[in-house]
Structure 1
Amino acid sequence: MTRDVTSVSPEDTVRRAAQLMKELDIGAVPVCDGPKLVGMLTDRDITIRSSAEGQAPETTRVGDVMSTEVRTCYATQSVEEVLAEMGDEQIRRVPVVDQQSHSLVGIVSLGDIATKHAATTDKALGEISAPGA
C-alpha cells in the first residue's frame, strides 16, 4: 500500500480537488474529516455529479459530489482478501483504515498489488474489468 496519501476535505472546492488530482496525476482522492475517512472523490464523480449538472467548480464543495459508500480494508488483511473485494466491487483502489479509529493510513491499488503479487492479480483483474450489469 501507499502510506503517504494526500487527501482533501469535504469543505474543499471541486476545483481545488481537481487541481490536486492533476498535480499528482491521480484519478481518485480520499476525502477526510480530520484523520477520519468520510468518502472518495474520483474524476468520474466530478464529471457526472458536478460538471454534467452545470455546477461551478469554484463554489461546489467536495462533500456535495463525493462518493460516501467507500469500500475499505485494514493493513492486516491478506492480499487475497483485498483482491477478492476489489473484484467483487469492480474497484481499482481501496483506502486502508485503522481498525480502531477508522482513520486513513494508506491506499492500495491494483497496480500496487500487481507489481508485488503478479500471480494473484489475474482473476481480480478479470473481475474488475468485466462489463457492469
Structure 2
Amino acid sequence: MTRRVHEVMTRNPVTVERRTSLAEAARVMRDAGIGDVLVVDEGRLCGILTDRDLVVRALAEGRDPAETTVLAVCSAEPLTVGPDDHVDEAVDLMRRHALRRLPVRTGSGEIVGIVTLGDLEVERDPGSPLASIAAAEEVRER
C-alpha cells in the first residue's frame, strides 16, 4: 500500500510573515536548525525562503538583510501537496520541478507540514546515507 504524505512529512513547519527582514528570517533558521522557512501573509502561504535564497538572491546581489523583506527574495507561490496525497505524487512533483521541499497544506489552505528530500529518503531507504543525515538532523532539532 502506498504511503500518504502526512505519514512522512515534518509537522509544524516554521513560518515567518512576508514583511519579516532577511536578517530576522536568518536568525529564525539558525535558532531552529533548519534551512528554510515558509513565508505567510496572515497565515496564507505565499512563498518559501531557503538559506540558498539568502545567499544567492540577497547577499550576492548586495541587498541589505536588515532592510530587505523575505517577500522580496523568496520563491513565490510554491507548489504544494496535500496531507492525503500519495508519497509517489510528491516525489514526482519534486522530480519534475527540481524541488527539494514541498509545503503541505489542506484543501482549506492550512499549512500542516513540509515534505523534504530527506523525509522521502528516510521513507524509501532508511539505511541510506541521506536518510542517516536526515535522522541525525531530526534528533538534533528536538
- Shorter-chain TM-score: what band? 0.7 to 0.9
Aligned positions of 1:1-133 closer than 5 A: 1-99=9-107, 101-118=108-125
Q: Could you tell me the TM-score, scaled by structure 2's length? A: 0.77
Q: Could you tell me how far 1:2 is from its partner in structure 2?
A: 1.3
Length, aligned pairs only: 119
Query: Aligned to 1:112, what secondary structure does the other structure show?
Result: helix
Q: Distance in 1 between the 2:113 and 2:59 partners? A: 29
Identical residues among aligned pairs (%): 38
Q: Could you tell me how far 1:69 is from its partner in structure 2?
A: 3.6
Question: Contact between 2:40 and 2:46, CA under 8 Å: does it hold in 1?
Answer: yes
| Contiguous gaps of at least 5 residues in structure 1 | 120-133
AA partner of residue 90 (structure 2): V
Q: Distance in 2 between the 1:109 and 1:49 partners? A: 21
Could you report, residue by residue, the CA deviation over 1:23-78 in whole angstroms, capped at 9, with x for unpaired residues?
22222111011221100001121112211121111111111111104111001100
The list of structure 1 runs, each at least 4 consecutive aligned residues, that deviate by more than 3 angstroms after superposition, is: none
Query: Aligned to 1:41, what secondary structure does the other structure show?
Result: strand
Query: Aligned to 1:29, what secondary structure does the other structure show?
Result: strand
Q: Distance in 2 between the 1:7 and 1:30 partners? A: 5
| Contiguous gaps of at least 5 residues in structure 2 | 1-8, 127-142
Query: Aligned to 2:46, what secondary structure does the other structure show?
Result: strand
Question: Contact between 2:57 and 2:73, CA under 8 Å: does it hold in 1?
Answer: yes
